[in-house]
Structure formats: structure tokens, C-alpha cells
Structure 1
């Protein structure tokens, strides 16, 4: 069972318990907020992300962030303070810091995330190893 599957299952359980839940890839949320800067609907789009009882951001910290993306994430996390936020990532939180354009932005955001969270570490092989092509550099091929 993978991290996305577990996150979706927790979201489904929250819905069954009466919560309003939104699931999205982190990259899509950032693109949505960037679009809001472009068309002047950022406040409306941010309110829609703040509103759910549970917000699930899948595949957090997949790539480096621009200054605008880091600012948007900071605002989102700050505004959701006290509301449930579930994040999935392939990286350990300690590996998130270099993805931010400034150490201050990283510390501000990650302090809010890490110090108020519970972490579930899922170790083990991918659920999809037989569905991907073999890497020629892997031993035993």
C-alpha cells in the first residue's frame, strides 16, 4: 500500500465521519494559486483551499520551489493553522529545506508543518516495481 493510497483512505474515512475533504497534488495547488496571481482571483482560490476540514497535499516537495510558490505555501499553511493538513512526500522533512529559495522561507514554513505534525514513515519497496521497466544498472538483471 502506497502513501497516496493511505492518504486517500484517511480522506475517505474523514468524509464518512462528516468532514469536508479536498485532495490535490501539491503541484496542482501551486499552479492553481499561480493562476490566481495572474487573473487576480488568488484570494478566492486561497479561501477555497482553506475551507475544507481536511486538505490533503500529495507529492509534497517533489522539486525546488520558486519564491512565489514558497510564499503561497507559507500563506496556505499559516491560514490553515488549527485545521487538518495531510501531506505525502517521497522525501524526509530534513530534505525539504534545500527546495526552498531562502532559508528564512524554509524555516518559517517547515517550522509550522513539522513542529505541529505527526509523522508516519512508510519504509519498504514500491508497490509498482513489477510495472516499471528494469533499470539496466540494477544488479541481478
Structure 2
């Protein structure tokens, strides 16, 4: 689990792990949790298609779930995320989130499900808490000097 505020490099590090896995011939898959939740919701009334989709997600040796719980997702999708993590218990899964694991209890409708998710991740994994300033606005990395990070990048004057 990679936990940290915006811009601390969670997604960058997660993608670097994915690239490294691929270079070592271990297929990986990377998804934003919001997109995955939308897919689960679209398949809610199609159990066979949902089962096939779940099998596709369980298959790769590495799965990256980025922006974990960054947006509100349905209870159905949350339950499918739990099922996915349970099915991948013996596989590598990277989760990148701005939210501390304690926050997850307020998201999952059932605290037992939150416990099960956290147990699977914490007991079989590693938690890295990333700290620092927003890398997207650091002058030495952008070459553009400090900019107001509240303005979307595509609207900024260069």
C-alpha cells in the first residue's frame, strides 16, 4: 500500500513497480479504482460477464489499483473490490491512496468487510507512507518554477 497526500509520488512509484514487473516478464495491470468501480457497476446485472471480468483481474501476477477510494463508489462495487482482493490474496497487488487505512472503515458499509480488506493487505504486505511536497509543483522537477497547484495543469499559463 502506498499512502500519501497529492503529489508525493504514489502513482509514479506504483507505475514504476508495474514497469519493473513487465521487464521481468511478469504481466501487470493498472486501473484507477473509480474506473474499476464503473466496470463492476456496469456488470452488476450480468453475473457471467462479471465472473469473466473478475477472472481477468485475478490472472496477472501484479495488479495496481490507483486512486484507491479517492472518489465515492457504490456499495456493490466495494463488495466486488473485496471479492477481488480476497481472490488475489496470494498475488501481488499495489494500492495507491491518499487516505489512511483507518479512513476505509467509514467507506465500507460493513466494518467486517473493511476489517477483511485491511487484514488481507496488512498481514501479507507492506505499507509505505510517502511524505513531501507536491512533486508536480517542485521547480527542480518541472523547470517552470512554483505554480498554484489549485489550478488544473492544462489551464496554467506557462
| TM-score in terms of structure 1 length | 0.86
- Find runs of 4+ consecutive structure 1 residues off by over 6 angstroms: none
In structure 2, the CA distance between the partners of 1:97 and 1:65, relative to structure 1 (3 Å rule), is farther
Residues 59 and 88, structure 1, Cα contact 8 Å, conserved in 2: yes
The 10-residue stretch of structure 1 (58-67 or 106-115) with the greater mean CA deviation from structure 2: 58-67
Q: How far did residue 31 of structure 1 move?
A: 1.3
Structure 2: where are the runs of 5+ without partners?
1-7, 138-146, 152-158
1:75 aligns with 2:83: yes
**Segment drifting more, 107-116 vs 46-55:** 107-116
TM-score normalised by the chain length of structure 2:
0.78
Q: CA RMSD for the aligned pairs?
A: 1.7
Matched with 1:28 is 35
Corresponding residue number in structure 2 for 1:97: 105
Cα distance, 1:94 vs structure 2: 1.6
Q: Is the 8 A contact 1:57 1:87 kept in 2?
A: yes
Deviation, structure 1 residue 131: 5.3
| Cα distance in structure 1, aligned partners of 2:67 and 2:15 | 13
8 Å CA contact retained: 2:68, 2:96 = yes
- Contact kept, 8 Å, 1:65 with 1:101, in 2: the verdict is no
From 6, 11, 21, the counterpart of 2:13:
6
CA displacement at 1:14 relative to structure 2: 0.5
Distance in structure 1 (CA, Å) of the matches to 2:129 and 2:110: 27
For CA contacts below 8 A with separation 6 or more, give which structure has more relative contact order.
Answer: 2
Give the length in aligned residue pairs. 134
Question: 1:70: Cα distance to partner?
Answer: 2.1
